[in-house]
Amino acid sequence: MDYMQASTSFSDSDMEFDKNVPRICGVCGDKATGFHFNAMTCEGCKGFFRRSMKRKAVFTCPFNGDCRITKDNRRHCQSCRLKRCVDIGMMKEFILTDEEVQRKRDMIMKRKEEEALRESQRPKLSEEQQKMIDTLLEAHRKTFDETYSDFTQFRPPVRENTCRRITRSSSVQTQNYSSDSETFNSSPESLESSFFSNSLFSNCSSGSSPGGSSDLSMLPHLADLVSYSIQKVIGFAKMIPGFRDLTSEDQIALLKSSVIEVIMLRSNQSFTLEDMSWTCGSEDFKYKLDDVTQAGHNMELLEPLVKFQVGLKKLNLHEEEHVLLMAICILSPDRPGVQDKALVEAIQDRLSSTLQTYILCKHPPPGSRLLYPKMIQKLADLRSLNEEHSKQYRFLSFQPEHSMQLTPLVLEVFGNEIS
């Protein structure tokens, strides 16, 4: 029937309403529930009009034929009520037959069943997966300060092209580092205060060539910044579900191999596409390529690093996806020195499965298209960045004027990592 789609004799919600227009019944002034038979009416007047039309009823007004119909007196004069229905535009052609009403009911029921089936087939995060995500979010927020307020406690940046050059003695650069190598094979707890807290990694990297400048003025500042970041990564790793089930040796191996990669992942939150810099709270802590050049890095690291940061930024990851990617990065069974590869792989599989399910459930298209493989490719890119980073620090270690700023432990670690 031509009027089937337009009719509202069965459903009250088939037509959208302007929220700014009051829903008042055009017949009696009662609260309207929608458009019925081409006019805005209440349920009572909708039913009255349908019954009257289907019975072909003929009414007579007992008064003057000009009754004012209200919510309270609408039952008193059926004739004037029906006349009012017609006057506001209600049309009998919009009334469905019993068969049409039943077909419409069947259509609505079928649509609901199909929606229920699609909903049942849609992937859902299990309670365990949601708990894992919540744990990682909490771990990240506890170990990452988005305001970068702690940066004020570091030695201030000293850039070659500014007048704020500060000279420090080697004793300041290397204090408390003399016993680092002795604790290299210690437990994760002792490593937290020695190896990971004092090692020099690059958090926000850029530069010209290793050792190209005789005055690597930014190296001390970035060393402080990265030492701080490393401690935070350790705190995050310890809260990854399953990480503490590993042996101390495997925990150390995973952290040692992945910490710089996680720092690079985390630094993406401060990376700005507009000027390709890392802005950490204020202009004083805004790092451009020249800054990290002054920490001894060259473009063999910086060009792929910036490309990586741009690509990762454009994925527009949710925070949940970001923390899962960091956890997957840490729990990689192919890291050097890992003994119980099966257990590490099992933990990583749970993280990967949770990430894939989250993307299917929570990340709307088109952003979700091929998002998981794109994220995994970023982990492969990080491996190359990690290797180049290590090579450049090793290069610095061969130069007496710069090796004094690298701890003995860092020299040993990067030396062992490079084949």
Residue range 218-246, pLDDT digits in tens:
766 777 777 788 889 999 999 999 999 99
The answer to whether residues 73 and 138 belong to one domain is no
Predicted confidence at residue 325, as pLDDT, reads 98
User: Among 226-240, 291-305, 337-351, which range has the highest average pLDDT?
Assistant: 337-351
In a domain, residue 188? The reply is: yes
End residue of a domain, out of 73, 95, 120: 120
| Domain shared by 149 and 44, yes or no | no
Q: Are 391 and 401 in contact (CB under 8 A)?
A: no
How confident is residue 94, by pLDDT bands cut at 50, 70 and 90? very high
Confidence (pLDDT) at 20: 61
Q: What is the average pLDDT score of the chain?
A: 80
Q: Is the peptide bond before 366 cis (omega within 30 degrees of 0)?
A: yes
* CA R_g for the chain: 35
Q: Which tops the pLDDT comparison, 393 or 62?
A: 62
- Residue 236 within a domain: yes
Whether residues 101 and 138 fall in one domain: no
Considering the domain architecture, whether residues 353 and 214 belong to the same structural domain is answered as yes
Does any domain span residue 26? Answer: no
pLDDT higher for 4 or 93?
93
The answer to whether 281 and 149 are in contact (CB under 8 A) is yes
Q: Which of 68, 90, 120 is the last residue of a domain?
A: 120
SS3 label, residue 106: helix
Last residue of a domain, one of 120, 143, 163: 120
Task: Assess whether 239 and 293 both reside in one domain.
Answer: yes
H/E run at residue 311: helix 299-314
Q: Which two three-digit tokens encode residue 153?
A: 């406690």
Tell me: do 198 and 81 sit in the same domain: no
> Is residue 263 situated within a structural domain?
yes
Kindly state whether residues 248 and 266 are assigned to the same domain: yes
Residues 107 and 151 in one domain: no
Where does residue 24 rank: exposed (0-12), middle (13-18), buried (19+ CB within 10 A)?
middle
Q: Are residues 238 and 143 in the same domain?
A: yes
Query: What gap in Å lies between CA 260 and CA 263, rounded to an integer?
Result: 5
113 token code pair: 């069943």
Tell me, yes or no, whether 21 lies in a domain.
no
Q: How far is CA 169 from CA 66, 174, 384, 404, in A?
A: 103, 9, 34, 10
Q: What is the CATH number of the domain that holds 76?
A: 3.30.50.10
Q: Which residue has the tokens 């610095």?
A: 396
User: Is 27 part of any domain?
Assistant: no
Residue 8 has pLDDT above 60, yes or no: no
230 and 258 inside one domain: yes
The tally of domains found in the chain comes to 2
184 with 103, same domain: the answer is no
Q: Which domain holds residue 79?
A: 34-120
CA distance 383 to 381: 5
Amino acid at 54: K
Look at residue 163 in the predicted model and tell me its pLDDT: 36
Q: Which of 172, 182, 195, 154 is nearest to 405 (CA)?
A: 172
Say which CATH number the domain at 139 has.
Answer: 1.10.565.10
Of 54 and 419, the one with more pLDDT: 54
Report the percent of the chain where pLDDT is more than 70.
Answer: 75
**25 assigned to some structural domain:** no
Res 345 pLDDT > 60 = yes
> Considering the domain boundaries, does residue 295 fall inside one?
yes
Structure-token match 């985390």, residue found: 266
- Range 412-417 average pLDDT: 49
From the list 328, 330, 197, the residue with the least C-alpha distance to 251 is 330
List of residues 6+ apart from 215 with CB closer than 8 A: 160, 294
92 with 136, same domain: the answer is no
